[in-house]
Amino acid sequence: MRFIFIFFALSTACFGQVITSWDSEKIMVNRGGDKSVIVGSNAIFNGDWHSLPQPNFWKQIMLLSPDSCLINIADTRVVLEKKSFIDWKLQTENQKSKYKDSLRKHFNLKSEVHINVTSGKKDFYRFEDVYPTISKGVSVFESYGVDPWYAQAILLIESPGQLVKSNVGAYGAFQLMPSVARSQGLIVSKNVDERTDFDKSAMGSARLISRICIPEAKRILNTYNLKYNESDLWFRLFVLHVYHAGSMNVRAVVDKIQPKEGSQELILKMWQTSAASFGNSSQNYTQLALASQLILSDMVVNKCEKYCPIVR
């Protein structure tokens, strides 16, 4: 814990200089002889996001083998038990139902509490493979004047270290849909798909965030006269929800919540509220973003020879 504290303390101040912009959130990392630039995660610790059960749950899932699973409370992601996923799948539906009932009784949970069984995703979240691309993504986003935190967050969770197409057609390192990529200047045709080009995919993502996601996020928040700062972590997470679910679905869930202020509390309510097509995967999206940042910080602290904030 001492080293984690030092790392994030360094990322918030250097020689008495307080960090106030994304430029100063950047950290130079020397890892295995390779120097790279990432965005520090001090905001997660300063805002106490790291103590929430949801990102901690997904952190475990991201590092867990797919042959294991965590039995958890759906709304809060509080883990009730770790179990062999192979053994779980061998049970009948009736046996599974009875087992969940036994857990409700043991933990004194109400009968209507929904219990999930979530298998490990270590085979998908390849953090060692995606790590070398983060510095490149940070650089591209900065070149377009876009907060590089978004590049880092998206790279860590969308298709980490892999070039695969989703079941709905999203493709590339930043998982852009064909129509979205074209709208941001990329060629996506029968013979050419520029989403496979990292720099162009990053450009498309950066443009999407700056031209559509951030303005739409502001419009939604302004409807409720909510105050925000673009560097606030909750605002960044809100923008990520727009990036993933689309502004109409985010507006629907916010309309259902009827928030009185913009804060961590709004994000927590979004994690537990469904509306329109804003469902389970949308709720999980920013939980995954936080979890992956926590894993990245562990990688830096535990496996790097040197790291320090970049102060200009």
Mean pLDDT by 10 residues, the chain (312 residues): 37 37 80 86 93 97 98 95 97 97 97 97 93 94 96 91 80 92 94 95 97 98 97 97 97 98 97 96 97 94 72 54
Tell me if 29 is assigned to some domain: yes
9 and 111 together in one domain:
no
115 and 144 together in one domain:
no
Tell me if 309 is assigned to some domain: no
Instruction: Tell me what pLDDT residue 168 has.
Output: 84
Tell me if 127 is assigned to some domain: no
177 and 77 together in one domain:
no
Tell me if 243 is assigned to some domain: yes
DSSP state letters, 29-83: EEETTEEEEEE--HHHHHTTGGGSHHHHHHHHHHTS-TTEEEEEETTT--EEEEE
The strands making up 68-73's β-sheet, listed across from edge to edge, are 79-84, 68-73, 115-119
Question: H/E element holding 143?
Answer: helix 127-143
Tell me if 303 is assigned to some domain: no
CATH number at residue 267: 1.10.530.10
Instruction: Tell me what pLDDT residue 233 has.
Output: 97
Total residue count of the chain as it appears in this document: 312
Q: Three-state DSSP class for 246? A: coil
Number of structural domains (the chain) is: 3
Instruction: Tell me what pLDDT residue 311 has.
Output: 54
**φ, ψ for residue 109 (rounded to 5)?**
-100, 150
How many CA atoms within 13 Å lie on the side-chain side of 197? 13
Domain containing 81: what range?
Answer: 65-119
Instruction: Tell me what pLDDT residue 19 has.
Output: 39
186 and 288 together in one domain:
yes
149 and 282 together in one domain:
yes
Instruction: Tell me what pLDDT residue 162 has.
Output: 77
User: CB neighbours (10 Å) of residue 98?
Assistant: 12
pTM confidence score: 0.89
Residues 149-176: b if buried by 16+ CB within 10 A, e if exposed: bbbbbbbbbbbbbeeeeeeeebbbbbbb
Tell me if 278 is assigned to some domain: yes
Tell me if 9 is assigned to some domain: yes
Instruction: Tell me what pLDDT residue 258 has.
Output: 98
Tell me if 312 is assigned to some domain: no
